[in-house]
Amino acid sequence: MTGIMNPPVLFTFGLHAHQPDGNFGHVFEEHLRDVYEPFVRRAVEASLLPITLHLSGPLLDWLEVNAPGYLDLVGELAATGRVELLLAGYFEPILPSLLREDRLEQIQWMREFLRSRFGVEARGLWLTERVWEPDLASDLVDAGVEYVLVDDRHFVASGFQREVLHAPFRTEASGKSLGVFAIDERLRYLIPFHAPEETAAYLRELRERGSRLAVAADDIEKFGGWPGTREWVYDRGWLERFTRTIKDLEAAGEIRLSTFSSAMEELPSGGLAYLPSASYREMEEWSLPSEAHHRLSELKAILGEERFARGESPLIRGSHWRNFLVKYPEANRMHKKMLALSRLCRARGNAEAPRRALGRAQCNDAYWHGVFGGLYLRHIRETVWRNLAEAEGLLRRDEALGWEAEDLDMDGHSELWVHSSEFSALVSPRRGGAVEELTIFGAGINLANTLTRRREAYHEASGNGAGTDEVRGEGHHEGESEGNEEGSGGGSGPTDENLESAPSIHDLEEGLHFSELPPVDQEDRAILVERVLRGGTTGSDFRLGRFLPLRSWAREALEVRSVADVTPSDDGDVSYGQPGSSEGGHTARSSESLLEIRLSSVESGALEKTLRFRTDGSLEVRFRWDASAYPPDAVFTTELSLGGSAEIHATPDAEVWRFPISTFSKSERGFDETVQGEGVLVRWPVAEGASTLRLRLG
């Protein structure tokens, strides 16, 4: 049978629109102006309908306040069947990373919004970052989801040939069956970066093969929000050509625009598929450690990009999304704190206010890093910590000073979780008694919210280009929109008027270079990291990480000698209450009491470190060290990596070095230099043998 005799291909065209919670208002405004509104209105004018649309909760909330007319337009299209709306977790979380109850609740929030605002019952789900884990299927069914969109590579990684994926499939978990659509990677790269005629040729090819379904689904931001795409899509007429091309194909009976729900009802199932834990190709590569990323790049070069991209890619894979929580301990601390507070919230009645704050803290963008800032965007991380502070402050209202020993970050080593109605702190004995979190609820600030300077794979790849022009950081880059390959802001598009394609983000990446590699930290950052430095260590050496300490406790486990509530006297001495067990917990009963944690090492050059927390989160730290173990010109130091303003008082008087903690991360416009906080190094002559430091929010 020739292709001319085959029935039309059902062309499902899905768009995902998202802005992270806490992104700048002007980014929302620019995307509404440049992408969200013009695309939908032109699709309506050209009858490029029906299409499928997903709007994330943070974006819906902003539009409801700032552009309700746009939502009215979407609602009218949804009510008449010209737009099918998709579910997701309301605040755009990575669903597999949540507790099961939280997954269901996030989806229910989205269902309730779509029902109340637009009067529709959504059937399908946009899977955030297409992060799939097999047990998710049963939870989605329990949430009332009938089908989900994933990448075709999820199927190919299980051994499927791409040619057979042009049909709705089924998967199951715990005996619960769910529909699954495979997003066509070829269409994802063709639209909108190549001439519409290339898309038409591919759709005709599918029809000639007898395929009944073509699935295109991706970020709407690539239609005007990425660098150069506004000019390419609108000014140079790509969208006009695309809509005309699609309508011509439809008029000729070669394709038919369809919603996913209609396609699922009309087309026979492709059968049963069990999908592995997976995401899209780029995400799996980004989550690799730098060394492994280089090895994968070498393998790709041996295979050749075309063969790798089209054939072997899903079988020769990177890591999985959860590995970002290993790669970046800062992301893991946010994630595990969120999980702990979610359990606490449910144990205390799951009140709406703390639950919603936790929902906002589950927004995915700050938990990972790819082409765009993600974790590297300080304002996005600050938003997560502010939401966590709001939730915990509500949950701990009127609580006295207390603590627990708990492996909060789930790495096999217990931390001390200290908290009251005003603050929450995490002390890591394994890291020399460093304070990894110090959140003040009223201010909504985690003073330890900084970022360790790491060697990213793209730093070294860029450094290979000897003799290239240096790409400088452009300051704190405030214009990013986060998510799968998303971005915002300017950038120049193609200049050749005859060019038949636009550069994608991956094309733009190729031209980025460093003439000199940025500095990296020898040890992870936190508040109160102690070292003994050589007398000749300069401020520049320390700031650039070019020093060798005589001794560092940054990775040395200290023994917890005692944890007890103490009462200060007028002369500064303390009287002790009942000590708590280092394996349990304790709540101080007196409003005047402090919680004291005594830690020490027993090796040569031993350190004794005593932390005293007040109810308001202010902290006093007393150090005692063996001065005889070091040269007389050596310096005892404690480093505080601060994500907010703080008052610091040292006794005896100390020399204090301050410097910005700057990182260089890849974005769509080059390498961005972002100030992640302030490094403060407090220095005493090693001969002192003892010192005291007081810290409180500034």
Query: CA-CA distances (angstroms) from residue 508 to 345, 371, 469, 511?
Result: 44, 10, 15, 6
In 166-309, alpha helices (H):
185-190, 196-209, 229-230, 238-251, 260-266, 281-286, 290-303, 305-307
> Do the beta carbons of residue 242 and residue 224 sit within 8 Å?
no
* Bond before 50 cis per omega within 30 degrees: yes
Query: CA-CA distances (angstroms) from residue 490 to 32, 33, 229, 392, 493?
Result: 15, 14, 9, 39, 9
* Concatenated DSSP letters of 9-22: EEEEEEEEE---TT
In 191-275, alpha helices (H):
196-209, 229-230, 238-251, 260-266
CA–CA dist 367, 515 (Å, integer)? 29
Helix-strand-coil split of the chain, %, nearest 5:
35, 25, 35
First-to-last C-alpha distance (Å) of the chain: 77
> Do the beta carbons of residue 449 and residue 345 sit within 8 Å?
no
Is 655 considered catalytic here?
no
Q: Three-class SS of residue 415?
A: strand
Residues belonging to the chain: 698
661: how many CB neighbours lie within 10 A of its CB?
21
> Do the beta carbons of residue 280 and residue 309 sit within 8 Å?
no
Residue of 84, 92, 129, 620 marked catalytic: 129
Nearest CA among 528, 532, 535, 559 for reference residue 626 = 532
Radius of gyration from C-alpha coordinates of the chain: 28
Q: Three-class SS of residue 337?
A: helix
Nearest CA among 456, 497, 462, 461 for reference residue 674 = 456
CA–centroid distance for 331 within its chain? 7
CA–CA dist 422, 558 (Å, integer)? 27
CA–CA dist 37, 29 (Å, integer)? 10
CA–CA dist 532, 605 (Å, integer)? 10
Is 219 considered catalytic here?
yes
Query: CA-CA distances (angstroms) from residue 197 to 189, 432, 568?
Result: 14, 62, 78
CA–centroid distance for 676 within its chain? 16
Strands (E), 372-500: 402-406, 415-419, 423-428, 434-440, 445-446
Residue of 151, 219, 254, 530 marked catalytic: 219
CA–CA dist 399, 587 (Å, integer)? 9
Give the up-direction half-sphere exposure of residue 471: CA atoms within 13 A in the CB hemisphere: 23
> Do the beta carbons of residue 408 and residue 415 sit within 8 Å?
yes
Just list the catalytic residues: 129, 219
